[in-house]
Amino acid sequence: RLPQAIIIGVKKGGTRALLEFLRVHPDVRAVGAEPHFFDRNYERGLAWYRELMPRTLEGQITMEKTPSYFVTKEAPARISSMCRGTRLIVVVRDPVTRAISDYTQTLSKKPDIPSFESLTFKNRTTGLIDTSWSAIQIGIYAKHLENWLLHFPIGQILFVSGERLISDPAGELGRVQDFLGLKRIITDKHFYFNKTKGFPCLKKAEGSSKPHCLGKTKGRTHPDIDQEVVQRLRDFYRPFNMKFYQMTGQDFGWD
C-alpha cells in the first residue's frame, strides 16, 4: 500500500531516531531507506513508489521518511495529489544546533570544506547571513511550513520536538502514536539512555532481542563554533522561530 503517513523532515532533526523507535510498534511497517520519491524520483511514477513499500496486514500503517521533502517546493502538491489524507510528521530542533549538525555531517564526508563561520555570512563585516546556504535555509521552518499549509490543514501535520525526542522519547512517541491512531505500545520500558552516545537507545530493536543504538554517524561531536557567530544566528532565527511557534501553537523553547 501507498504510505498513510510520511516523516517529511527535517534533516538532522532526529528523523532516523523517530523512525527506528516507531518500527518497534507492531502496527507500523516502514521503508528502511529514504525513497526520495516526491523530490528526486517523482518521474518514476506511483507504481515504482508503491513497489518500495513493505507488505502490510489490515490495520497496519505504511510509512516512509525523507527529510528533504519539507524543503522541497513541489512536495506538498505531489503528496496531496497521491492522497489528501496523508498524515505528515515533521521533527524539528533548534535551527542553530541543526545547522551545526548539518555542517558536521558534511565535514565528515568532505574534510576540506570552508569553516562554518565563513559559510554562514555573505559578508562577515556587515554580518549579513547567507540564507542560500542549505544548512541555514532548512532552519527557516516558518517559511517552509507556509508552503505545506497551502495543501494540508495544520491538524494533519504533527510537529515533534527533536530535543524532547532525546530527553523524553516515550512522551514524544506517545504523541506520535496518538496522532497516527495507534495503541500506545511504545513506552518508557522500551528505552534506556546511552551516556556515551548522549541519547536514548532501544532495549530491543524490531525483530531482534539485542539492544539497538543508532549507528556511528549519529551523535557526532560538533566542532567549536565562534560564539559571536552562534549569537548572530540566534538573533537571525528568532523572528522566524516566533512565527513558527505561532503557526504550530507550540513553543519549542529554542531561545
Say if residues 201 and 211 touch (Cβ distance below 8 Å): yes
219 labeled part of a ligand binding site? yes
16 labeled part of a ligand binding site? yes
59 labeled part of a ligand binding site? no
85 labeled part of a ligand binding site? no
Q: Which three cell numbers stand for residue 135?
A: 544548512
Helices marked H in the chain: 15-22, 46-52, 75-82, 95-109, 116-120, 134-137, 141-149, 162-167, 169-179, 227-248
The Cα 93–Cα 141 span in angstroms is: 10
Catalytic annotation present for 143: no
161 labeled part of a ligand binding site? no
Annotated catalytic residue, options 12, 109, 189, 197: 12
55 labeled part of a ligand binding site? no
221 labeled part of a ligand binding site? yes
Sequence-distant (≥ 6) Cβ neighbours of residue 26 within 8 angstroms:
60, 185
198 labeled part of a ligand binding site? no
Q: Residue 219 region, left (φ>0) first, then alpha (ψ -120 to 50), else beta?
A: left
Q: Which three cell numbers stand for residue 209?
A: 532481542
Say if residues 70 and 12 touch (Cβ distance below 8 Å): no
122 labeled part of a ligand binding site? no
Burial of 134 (0-12, 13-18, 19+ CB in 10 A): middle
Cell 518500495 belongs to residue: 52
The Cα 138–Cα 146 span in angstroms is: 13
127 labeled part of a ligand binding site? no
Give one DSSP letter per residue of 21-53, joined into a string. Answer: HHTTSTTEEE-SS---TTTTSGGG-HHHHHHHS
Residue positions in the annotated binding site for 3'-phosphoadenylyl sulfate? 12-16, 93, 101, 218-222
Binding site membership: which residues?
12-16, 93, 101, 218-222
Q: Which residues are catalytically annotated?
A: 12
